[in-house]
A = this chain, B = another copy of it.
Amino acid sequence: MSGLLLDVAVQPSSVGPPVRAARYLSGGPQLPRADFQLRPVPSGFAPQEQEYQQALLLVVALAGLGLGLSLIFIAVYLIRFCCCRPPEPPGAKSPPPGGGCVTWSCIAALLVGCTGIGIGFYGNSETSDGVSQLSSALLHANHTLTAIDHLAHPCAQVLEMVERLDEAVRTELTTLEEVLTQRTELVAATRGARRQAEAVAQQLQGLAFWQGVPLSPVQVAEDVSFVEEYRWLAYVLLLLLELLVCLFTLLGLAKQSKWLVIVMTVMSLLVLVLSWGSMGLEAATAVGLSDFCSSPDTYILNLTREETGLGSDILNYYFLCNQAVSNPFQQRLTVSQRALANIHSQLQGLEREAVPQFPSAQKPLLSLEETLNVTEGNFHQLVALLHCRGLHKDYGAALRGLCEDALEGLLYLLLFSLLSAGALATALCSLPRAWALFPPRNPSASCSGSHLSEPFLHARLEPVPHLR
């Protein structure tokens, strides 16, 4: 005897390769957290709890502290440079020590800033990729859920077919009513088929578990995309602003244009503030996201249970989707399947018994069998839709988008903010010293279109011996 009843629990896992979530922040949750009174806070993701919110706000506040410290440092450095310069003998031959160094450190800082900008563009696009993966997974899940509801429920499009079927059944019943006295068992069989059909319909209606659930994945996806769109745009603007500041500062240094360098110094200050601000937001988001990603299942399960009011068995089935969790629709599906098979054998019996005597019964019977075949096909589609594979894969894709791509992008953005904060602070320290070394405005030298050039700082250099 070969393997019918044998195909049991063969497969260790039915859901594909596991989701590798949060591979980037394995050390993240171990960082100490504290609230405003600096009491330690557990690192589990609980955004609705006040002390967790305080812990995140404290991370933002740390960035504010960094901004304050760097501003104080810059101010002290510049004040010291302006007020405590050693008096310089007029017409001194040697340049002040480190005069060229100032310009070069400024250029190096701006180059580091440009590298940071490149990293920022990459991180921004990576985050955007991750979030769009999340929304497309949500849309796909919504598609599956809608399909389940539609398959399990009659909708307007099928009403015509319902009526045709009803009519077919009624015709057959009328035909059989005429021979009721002779063949009671045929009428009984027809009525049995109808009862089974009604039972199946009831069972199937119970499968549309998402019907009437107030949570719409489409809505969530749209909200996420909306926020992401503005976040993306804001970062692109910030990156472009910083790129322009870097390039125009370089241009100002190259053309030795004092006003351009002064304007760019002010802009650098603005961008420095923005960088520290974005760094605070990124750090808080990264900390929150890493907490979430270290054990997303529990949080998502609880949240979905609260939002949808669905039973734990259904949610566990879809969110965990392993052999340990049994299909909560198994019973209904099996009952429906058996009822469908019974209807089929009853219809076949009717065809065998009734058609030789009542040829007019053949047409409605054939039509009913055709419909039964199509229904069985749709039943298989329903089984496939209800199976946890599809929805769990969407869940995995959404998690991967959030916890791999988006988190990776966020860390790159954090690196960008760090680099640009450092670079801008260095530039802010050196720019005023650099422009102090510029020669006074000489229209004939610096405004001629043909040579942009005459690079930096030759003003204060000692005259060079002629080559030949």
Chain A interface (Cβ < 8 Å from any Cβ of B): 1-11, 14, 16-17, 90-91, 97-101, 103-104, 114, 118, 121-122, 125, 129, 136, 139-140, 143-144, 147, 150-155, 157-158, 161-162, 165-166, 169, 194, 197-198, 200-202, 204-205, 254, 326-327, 330, 333-334, 337-338, 340-342, 344-345, 368, 371-387, 389-390, 393, 439-440, 450-461, 463-468
Contacts and interface: CB of A to CB of B under 8 A. Distances in A.
A451 B6 contact: no
A5 B342 contact: no
A202 B11 contact: no
A166 B144 CA distance: 40
Nearest to A108: B452
Contacts of A91: 466, 468
A452 B104 contact: yes
B7 A158 contact: yes
B201 A2 contact: yes
Given A103-B453, A453-B104, A372 B341 contact: no
Contacts of A154: 2-3, 6-7
A341 B4 CA distance: 13
Nearest to A146: B11
A139 B393 CA distance: 14
A14 B385 CA distance: 9
A456 B459 contact: no
Contacts of A373: 334
A194 to B, nearest CB: 7
Given A5-B368, A450-B97, A466-B91, A389 B385 contact: yes
A2 B368 contact: no
Q: How many copies does the complex hold?
A: 2
A372 B353 CA distance: 31
Given A3-B154, A464-B439, A453 B383 contact: no
B10 A150 contact: yes
Contacts of A377: 326-327, 330, 334
B10 A158 contact: yes
Nearest to A342: B341
In this complex, which of A129, A334, A340 has the most chain B Cβ atoms within 10 angstroms of its Cβ? A334
A390 B391 CA distance: 10
A380 B376 contact: no
B389 A104 contact: no
A375 B8 CA distance: 6
Contact of A17 (B136, B368, B457): B136
Contacts of A451: 97-98, 100-101
A372 B118 contact: no
Given A7-B151, A101-B453, A463-B463, 4 more contacts: A6-B375, A333-B380, A385-B389, A390-B390
A458 B467 contact: no
Contacts of A2: 154, 198, 201-202, 205
The 7 closest A-B pairs by CB, nearest first: A100-B453, A341-B341, A384-B387, A3-B154, A118-B118, A4-B197, A4-B201
19 contacts: A1-B166, A1-B169, A2-B198, A2-B202, A8-B158, A8-B374, A16-B140, A17-B136, A90-B468, A101-B452, A122-B122, A338-B341, A340-B341, A383-B387, A384-B390, A390-B390, A390-B393, A458-B458, A459-B467
Contacts of A11: 147, 150-151, 381
A382 B384 CA distance: 9
Contacts of A372: 5
B380 A383 contact: yes
Given A11-B150, A140-B16, A384 B389 contact: yes
Nearest to A375: B5
B337 A341 contact: yes
Contact of A381 (B14, B158, B368, B450): B14
A376 B100 contact: no
